Amino acid sequence: MKKLYIIRHAKSSWKDLEIDDFDRPLNKRGKQNAPFMGEKLKEKEIMPDMIISSPALRAKTTAEIIAKKMNYTKEVFFNQDLYEADATTLHNILSKIDNENSVVFLIGHNPELNMLAEIYVGFDENIPTCGVLEVEFNCDRWIDIGANNARLVSFDYPKRYNEVKTDI
């Protein structure tokens, strides 16, 4: 069994329009939501074997915050190909993961993550910032993951909880 957590980066700042898209930081809400969702994952006793993230600043920061909140001590892998990747590229990256890893966090961007979720489990809702989609694959090798053996287990996001401050 393989389990994939598709995680969209936390809310980023558009305050400075001169900053390149790749270098956009998290805004106030993003800095609140990333640790909050890390705590929610920790409460569910989820521990990834591997975290793969886009190296774009907003995704990288989200990955690092979530990893810290979960007491994840392994290396977080930053893969340049995740930035502006299409769903096929994302699938190809996942299919090459070492099979020793059963639980993987993939942290990246929309619309690509939405497209991947739609391909795997027919998920046609928007994954909001810091949203977490849990997908289970009934197989033992990452190369075998696909729509034919995927099942949506859960979908969680910060705005579902009243205690998260979302005022900006």
d(CA 137, CA 152): 9
Res 15: pLDDT = 79
Q: For 115-167, how does the pLDDT look when each residue is reduced to its tens digit (9 = 90+)?
A: 999 999 999 999 999 999 999 999 999 999 999 999 999 999 999 886 555 44
Res 19: pLDDT = 85
Query: Considering the domain 2-160, what is its CATH architecture?
Result: 3-Layer(aba) Sandwich (3.40)
Q: For 17-73, how does the pLDDT look when each residue is reduced to its tens digit (9 = 90+)?
A: 788 889 999 999 999 999 999 999 999 999 999 999 999 999 999 999 999 999 999
Structural domain boundaries in the chain: 2-160
Our CA angle for 13, 133, 23, nearest 5°, is: 25
Q: For 74-119, how does the pLDDT look when each residue is reduced to its tens digit (9 = 90+)?
A: 999 999 999 999 999 999 999 999 999 999 999 999 999 999 999 9
Res 18: pLDDT = 82
The secondary structure of residue 160, as a DSSP letter, is: G
Q: Residue 29: enclosing H or E segment and its boundaries?
A: helix 28-43
R_g (Cα) of the chain, nearest Å: 15
> CB-based contacts of 62: which residues, under 8 Å, 6+ apart?
7, 9, 10, 26, 30, 34, 53, 107, 130
Res 30: pLDDT = 95
Residue pair 134/2 in contact (Cβ under 8 Å)? The answer is no
Q: What residue type is assigned to position 96 of the chain?
A: K
The secondary structure of residue 147, as a DSSP letter, is: G
Res 167: pLDDT = 46
Q: Which two tokens stand for residue 95?
A: 């299919």
Residue pair 147/120 in contact (Cβ under 8 Å)? The answer is yes
Res 162: pLDDT = 66
